[in-house]
Amino acid sequence: MTLEASLRGIVGSAHVLQGGDLAAYEIDWRKRYHGRARLVVRPATTAEVAAVVQACAAAGAAIVPQGGNTGLVGASVPDGSGTQVLMHMGRLNRIRAIDGANLTMTVEAGCLLQAVQEAAAAQGWLFPLSLAAEGSCTIGGNLATNAGGTQVVRYGNARELCLGLEVVTAEGEVWDGLSGLRKDNTGYDLRDLFIGSEGTLGLITAATLKLYPLPTVVTTALASLDWLDSAVAFLGLAQARLGASLTGFEVMNRFSLDLVRRHFPQLAQPLPGAGWTVLLEQSGNESEAQATQRFESLLEAAMERGLITDAAVASSLEQAKTLWHLREAIPLAQSLEGLNIKHDISVPISRIPAFVRATDEALERAVPGVRLVDFGHLGDGNLHYNVQAPAGMDAQRFLAEHEERVNDIVYDAVMAHGGSISAEHGIGALKRDELARRKSPVALKLMRAIKQALDPHGRMNPGRVV
């Protein structure tokens, strides 16, 4: 029996796609990677996933898992060989349980992040992972890449929000690790092996996630600053004044918001252009009067100390959403401006201003007129330090002529400042060779040993990470 026939017997003919237009599965979100799948299979249960993996193992076929296909490093589309089976996880989309007393929920990997948030909220709980792509990304993909988002400063990455996993191994066995326990000190933490592994060790099919009480008060503001050093000092003041209620602290350079203004003029910007703009948010369960007083006191103190030059506080939920739309529109505006060189990097917060100054200057020397789209999660040290072609230069030509040099400049600076070349997007195919150059030999040896132990035949998402 052929592999195709076996898979049709497992998931049904309607859920094995072969031939025709499979572009939605074979092209990544950035349209940078264009692959060709042997076929697309869409299982609906963990048992079906396990059976598909077993069939592929028997046929010697590699598997590329895919959730919402919103990744940015080429980890979830097949290569160009036409030999890889793409496993789309979207039909595993059930909320299995919500345990309010234990503050957990168990969901399947194909659930949209937004659906997980809404299911929690419907029962009075908060699942705090929040990304611009939350309407299309899946929780399995979030965990496979250890996604971050806008509330890491308070709640942590996807890893910190997950208590247990269900995983199908490379041999097609099912590991049921869906524990809702916060303490389980019984050997190696298998959960942490699979989170962030980008489908190279096994396939996440379900997860038990942490829940939190829904905040009763949320306060959001924009603040203008002249210098990035002031933003770091302002962050320290906000942490001291707001404590655990500080849930978001985003930073955007002038050109980032200029792009939003150009491509999305309907999004009102309440403050005039500044060197840097901070978007900050607090949330909690105190009275609205207490929260407002504390927030306004913070802004007044920052103004008195010369850290910020202007501020605008949202007076309603709709206004708060509008402020967040400005931040979330930056990647879309940059995409409309043309192809660009993206860097998802992390640097110790104290060293971010020095990193930005040095790297800006080095890039300007290397490519005069280069435009820098610098924004991200200052509260946890994660910048999206993106590089746009000089005005008037063809974007394709810019990438062809300058991408390698630009990457060297940025990543050399990241390493010199004690940072990481990937904060939340992962490695995928895009950064695999860069990882091999910049990760310590001991770390690479350990990673390859884990890969060999869990996927000895190299069938799980080959060509990614290691």
Same domain, 317 and 394: yes
Which pLDDT tens digit goes with each residue over 385-436?
A: 999 999 999 999 999 999 999 999 999 999 999 999 999 999 999 999 999 9
Domain of 183 in residue numbering reads as 95-213
Same domain, 256 and 179: no
pLDDT value of residue 132: 84
Same domain, 283 and 228: yes
Same domain, 162 and 236: no
Query: For the residues 265-286, what does the mean pLDDT come to?
Result: 94
pLDDT value of residue 337: 93
Whether 112 maps to a domain, the answer reads yes
Q: Which of 399, 416, 433 is the last residue of a domain?
A: 416
Same domain, 130 and 189: yes
The per-residue pLDDT of the chain, averaged, comes to 95
Q: Does the pLDDT of residue 38 top 90, yes or no?
A: yes
Per residue, the 3-state secondary structure of the chain, as one string, reads CCHHHHHHHHHCHHHEECCCCCHHHHECCCCCCECCCCEEECCCCHHHHHHHHHHHHHHCCCEEEECCCCCCCCCCCCCCCCCCEEEECCCCCCEEEEECCCCEEEEECCCEHHHHHHHHHHCCEECCCCCCCCCCCEHHHHHHCCCCCCCHHHHCCHHHHEEEEEEEECCCCEEEECCCCCCCCCCCCHHHHHCCCCCCCEEEEEEEEECEECCCEEEEEEEEECCHHHHHHHHHHHHHHHHHHEEEEEEEEHHHHHHHHHHCCCCCCCCCCCCEEEEEEEEECCCHHHHHHHHHHHHHHHHHCCCCCEEEECCCHHHHHHHHHHHHHHHHHHHHHCCEECCEEECCHHHHHHHHHHHHHHHHHHCCCCEEEEEEEHHHCEEEEEEECCCCCCHHHHHHHHHHHHHHHHHHHHHHCCCECCCCCCCCCCCHHHHHHHCCHHHHHHHHHHHHHHCCCCCECCCCCC
135: domain CATH number?
Answer: 3.30.465.10
Tell me the whole-structure pTM to 2 decimals.
0.93
32 pLDDT band (50/70/90 cuts)?
confident
1 pLDDT band (50/70/90 cuts)?
confident
Same domain, 245 and 346: yes
Whether 450 maps to a domain, the answer reads no
pLDDT value of residue 30: 81
Q: Which of 88, 115, 133 is the last residue of a domain?
A: 88
Query: For the residues 107-117, what does the mean pLDDT come to?
Result: 98
Q: Which of 213, 237, 254 is the last residue of a domain?
A: 213
Which pLDDT tens digit goes with each residue over 47-57?
A: 999 999 999 99
Same domain, 209 and 137: yes
pLDDT value of residue 287: 86
Which pLDDT tens digit goes with each residue over 184-214?
A: 999 999 999 999 999 999 999 999 999 999 9
Q: Does the pLDDT of residue 240 top 90, yes or no?
A: yes
pLDDT value of residue 439: 94
pLDDT value of residue 405: 97
Residue 358: phi and psi, rounded to 5, are -65, -40
pLDDT value of residue 339: 87
76 pLDDT band (50/70/90 cuts)?
very high
Same domain, 277 and 373: yes
Whether 321 maps to a domain, the answer reads yes
Q: What's the total number of domains in the chain?
A: 3
Query: For the residues 318-327, what does the mean pLDDT come to?
Result: 93
**Residues 86, 37: contact at Cβ < 8 Å?**
yes
